[in-house]
Structure 1
Amino acid sequence: DLVAENARLRSLIPPVAEGLDSLLYYPDSLYGYIPATVVSNTVTKPNNLIMVNRGYKDGVEKEMGVISSSGLVGIVIGVSEHYSVIMSMLHQNIRISGRIKKNDQLINVVWDQTDYRLGTISDIPSHIQLQAGDSIVTSGNSLIFPKDLLIGVVESHDKESGGLLSKALLRFSTDFNSLRHVYLIKSFMAVEQKSLLSQIHE
C-alpha cells in the first residue's frame, strides 16, 4: 500500500533538507522501518496510548521506537499477533534523551501534561545556551531511537537570573491529534547491544 511504498522509498534516499520537513529515515543497515496505521489514539489523558495495526506477525517487538513522518511518537509497550500498543510522548512515564541540534548539548524531554502539542525540557544547566526556534533531536544514547530524529522546536526558555537550572517549553514536531500513520523502528543491532550490556551488569 501507499504507506509501505513510502517507507521503502525513504530507506533508499538520504536526507536532503533541514528543518521540520527533513527526511527521518536513514539508508544504513542498522535500522528497518515497519509502516503502520493508527487504530486508536488518545491525547487528553494523563497517560496516552496509541494502538496500531501491526503486531509480532509483522516483526514488531516491545521497546521499539515509533516515529511519524514529522518526528517522534513513542515506544511500543504491548504486542499481539496483529496489533501493538504504543506509549505516546503524551505519557507521564516517558522521558526521551535528546540534544540541542546547534551545539550537541544533552537534555531530557518529557510531556508538559497539559497540552498535546507541548513538551518540557527541565533541569537545564545555566551554561547551556537555548533559544526559541532551536531544534531538539534524539541523542542516540539509547537502544530505542537512532540519533538526530526530530523531537520538536523550542517555544520559550524560562531562565531565571542567578538560577543554576532552568526549563524550556518545546513544541512537538508530531501533531498527535491528527496522527494517522507511523513507522516502528527495528534495530538490527539491539539484541547484540543488550547482550553486551547484560554481561557487564552481571
Structure 2
Amino acid sequence: MDEDLIRLITGRKSIRKFDPEQKISHDELSRILQESCRAPSAMNLQPWRFLVIQSKEGKDKLRPLFYNNPQLLDSCSAMIAILGDLRASDYKDHIYNRAVAEGTMSEEERDKEVKLISELYDGMPHDAHLTDVSFNSALAAMQLMLVARAHGYETCPLGGFDKNQFDATFGYDPARYLPLVLIAVGKPAEEGFNTVRLDTDQIVKWV
C-alpha cells in the first residue's frame, strides 16, 4: 500500500479561505492541469476544458455570477472552471492519429476506434450526451484536486455559480460548452473542517 497516496486522499478538505499572498506560477499551474488530464475518459475523448481565472479582471467578471463567499474568490490563487465540450468527438482524428504516430496504436486499431466513435456520438441523444460529458469531466475535476494537493496546494469545488450566464460572460458557445464546476486552488489560510463519511455497511451491497 502506498501510504503517502492514502494520506493525500484521506487528508483532503475543502478550504474556504486561502492565503492571498501565495501565488501559483503559470508553469506550475500548467503542469498541474497537464497531470490532471491523465484522468480516464470514454473513448479517450477528454471532453474537459479548463478556464483559469487568476487576474483581478477575470475574478471581477466572475464575481456577479458567484453565489459563494466572495472572500474565497478574492483569496484563492486561481479559480479553475471546468467545462464539458459537447463536440469533444471532433478531436477524434487528432487524438488517434497522434496515438499512431507515437506507436501506441496501429492504423487498423485507429480506424476501428474512430468509426466506433462516429457511430456512438453522431446519433447520441442530447440527454445522454450531457450525462456522458459531465461524468467524464468530473473525473478530471477530482483528479485536479488531488494533483493540486500533491503539489502542496488545497482546493474547494464549487457548484454555486450562475451557469446560465457563464458562457456569455467568458465568451464560450453555450450550444457547445457546459459549465460544470469551479475549483478554487491556493495555499490554505485555515485547516478546513473535519467531516464524517457514511460507513461502508451503509452504502455498500455485496452480491
Q: TM-score, normalised by structure 2?
A: 0.25
- As a proportion of its length, which structure holds more helix? 2
Choose between structure 1 and 2 for higher RCO, CA contacts under 8 A separated by at least 6 residues.
2
* Higher strand content, 1 or 2: 1
